[in-house]
Amino acid sequence: MKTISVPISVIVGGGICVSASDGHKVFDVIRQHIVNGNRAALSFSGVTRMTTAFLNAAVGQLYGDFDEQKIRQHLAPPEDAEDWHLVRLKIVVDRAKIYFNDNNSIDSIFSSITGQVNDKNS
């Protein structure tokens, strides 16, 4: 399996990684590498600002398309990542796993607060 660097700031066109639409561009690249059987190494070189909205789109939604084991196989440890990049990335990844593994739990939290049942689940 070939490991290929995915330079976030090059894909986005700069170090400000804040919008979900830019995150989606990164997602498309990573997804293609996984589909092609490669191993993607996200490079955070030059990333100066980064939101969870960006990361949710860039990597969070991978967990909706692929199972965790496949993602582990096809994503290498991040490259050139500063501590704050790693912290934020981990928060988003953990959240995505919960979101996709147990989406109903989000609705049950909702129900417990509001006392209402989501029509879509009833």
35 binds other proteins (CB under 8 A): no
Which listed residue (6, 26, 30, 81) binds other proteins by CB under 8 A? 81
Which listed residue (14, 28, 30, 43) binds other proteins by CB under 8 A? 14
Spatial neighbors of 48 by CB under 8 A, at least 6 apart, are: 15, 16
Q: How many helices (H) and strands (E) does the chain have?
A: 7, 4
Least Å distance between CB 27 and other proteins? 9
Lookup: tokens for 58? 């860039």
38 binds other proteins (CB under 8 A): no
Query: Which residue, chain included where needed, has tokens 């990573």?
Result: 30
Number of residues that bind other proteins (CB under 8 A): 49
Dihedrals phi, psi of 75, to nearest 5 degrees: -120, 120
72 binds other proteins (CB under 8 A): yes
Lookup: tokens for 84? 């704050």
> CA 89, 4, 45: angle at the middle one, nearest 5?
50
Contact footprint for other proteins (CB under 8 A): 14, 16, 18-22, 49, 51-54, 56-57, 60-61, 63-65, 68, 71-72, 75, 77-78, 81, 83-84, 86-87, 89-93, 95-96, 99-100, 106-107, 109-110, 113-114, 116, 118-120
